[in-house]
């Protein structure tokens, strides 16, 4: 599996989780997947409406200085250098005539405001030296990264144009149903804007990429280079941002994942406002309610989340939460797993007050907590 320099990957049994960043040579491309249940006449009108707002993103970053002509650890060697113009041995930084190599990558984005705000993935633009955005009409403009959020792999880029730009808007991902038609537009393998269609395969997927996993799974063909591209419903609304795929080869096998617009719209608004995302913080350690714990409490099945510890002088401690409490809901939203509680709390802002329904020593208890600010954690 060949990965570009910004493409994180996690080893999984028989598969790899691949961020969809581009930058590979064109060898063999996977066979496109056929859409299920496409409307008569296809998606011609939909694509004509939304495609002008989808953009092609190219990034560049100078490689870190190397010692004694050695490439960075884990960097692909001869074949990569031949294909992408990297310096060959004898021309490495620190050697006579050597220059620091520049690494390139490609991705996708979409315009959400007429003045040039563009949504893409954080892994496309985070830490790069330059961003170039190519519009659907062929114009290329320099982009400025306004902010990134590694926890959700989202970023906001700004371009300056001499006239209003075409835009698309977020829809409500909460209204999605499994089996519903969706359309993806992106820049697979650097080919330029390409359209694929499919269905919503699953909702609420946890792929172990971070604490806020809540992905839309789709069989619409998406590949490296589609990173940051929009996933549309049939109304032309953005319901997801294409971010990752499961693949044994790096190409589409019909299992792709998109950040839901419910999450993206909140993160993007925060990035536009101050360049970073502030998240609510409760201050507890939590674990699932096991079958044994559920049986001991008289539950027919496990439910809620067990508080295993409370951090001293935290919002939870000040609100009187205690070890052994079981959180059943937050602001009326049922909590069935630790991931649910983490995501619900994190989507609120510091200073927000949330109502918790608890079970304490077999008795129902209500508590109100004023959230603190979530400490920054490594991506």
The token pair that represents 371 in the structure block: 């959230």
28 is an active site residue = no
Q: Which residue's structure tokens are 């003045």?
A: 115
Pull the structure tokens for residue 85: 């113009």
Check if the beta carbon of residue 183 is closer than 8 Å to that of residue 197: yes
CA gap 54, 167 in Å, rounded: 8
As a whole number of angstroms, the distance between CA 306 and CA 214 comes to: 21
**Lookup: tokens for 62:** 């100078």
Strand partners, 285: 309
The answer to whether the CB of 253 falls within 8 A of the CB of 246 is yes
| Helix boundaries (H) for the chain | 44-50, 78-84, 122-125, 261-274, 291-297, 315-318, 338-346
Q: Check if 227 is active-site.
A: yes
* Beta carbons of 178 and 201 less than 8 angstroms apart: yes
Residue 227: both structure tokens together: 């990173």
Bridge partners of 316? none
Q: Of 7, 104, 149, 153, which is the active-site residue?
A: 153
Catalytic residue among 227, 252, 261, 265: 227
Residues counted in the chain? 379
Catalytic pick among 4, 104, 123, 173:
123
Backbone angles phi, psi at 363, to 5 degrees: -115, 145
Is residue 153 annotated as part of the catalytic site, yes or no? yes
Distance from C-alpha of 167 to C-alpha of 51, rounded to nearest angstrom: 9
Q: 4-20 burial by CB neighbour count: b if 16+ within 10 A, else e?
A: bbbbeeeeeeeebbbbb
Give the residue numbers annotated as catalytic, written as ranges. 123, 153, 227
């Amino acid at each position: 599996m060949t990965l570009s320099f910004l493409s994180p990957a996690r080893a999984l049994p028989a598969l790899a989780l691949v961020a969809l960043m581009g930058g590979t040579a064109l060898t063999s491309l996977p066979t496109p997947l056929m859409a299920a249940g496409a409307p008569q006449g296809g998606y011609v009108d939909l694509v004509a409406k939304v495609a002008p707002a989808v953009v092609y993103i190219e990034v560049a970053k100078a490689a870190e200085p190397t010692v004694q002509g050695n490439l960075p650890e884990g960097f692909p060697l001869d074949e990569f250098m031949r294909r992408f113009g990297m310096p060959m041995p004898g021309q490495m930084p620190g050697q006579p005539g050597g220059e620091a190599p520049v690494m390139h990558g490609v991705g996708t984005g979409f315009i959400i405001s007429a003045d040039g705000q563009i949504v893409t993935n954080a892994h496309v633009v985070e830490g790069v030296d330059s961003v170039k955005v190519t519009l659907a009409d062929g114009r290329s403009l320099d982009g400025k990264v306004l902010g990134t959020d590694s926890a959700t792999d989202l970023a906001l880029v700004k371009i300056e144009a001499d006239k209003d730009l075409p835009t698309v808007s977020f829809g409500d991902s909460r209204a999605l149903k499994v089996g519903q038609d969706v359309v993806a537009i992106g820049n697979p393998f650097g080919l330029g804007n390409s359209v694929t269609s499919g269905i919503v395969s699953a909702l609420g997927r946890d792929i172990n990429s971070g604490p806020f996993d809540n992905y839309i799974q789709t069989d619409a063909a998406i590949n490296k280079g589609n990173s940051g591209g929009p996933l549309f419903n049939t109304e032309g609304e953005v319901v997801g941002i294409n971010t990752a795929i499961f693949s044994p080869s790096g190409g589409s096998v019909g299992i792709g994942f998109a950040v839901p617009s419910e999450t993206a719209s909140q993160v993007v608004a925060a990035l536009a406002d101050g360049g970073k995302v502030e998240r609510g913080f409760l201050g507890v350690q939590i674990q699932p309610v096991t079958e044994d714990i559920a049986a001991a409490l008289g539950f027919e099945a496990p439910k809620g989340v067990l508080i295993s510890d409370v951090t001293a002088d935290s919002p939870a401690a000040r609100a009187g939460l205690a070890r052994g409490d079981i959180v059943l809901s937050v602001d009326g939203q049922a909590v069935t797993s630790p991931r649910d509680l983490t995501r619900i709390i994190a989507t609120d802002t510091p200073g927000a007050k949330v109502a918790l329904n608890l079970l304490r020593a077999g008795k129902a208890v209500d508590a109100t907590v004023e959230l603190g600010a979530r400490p920054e954690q490594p991506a």
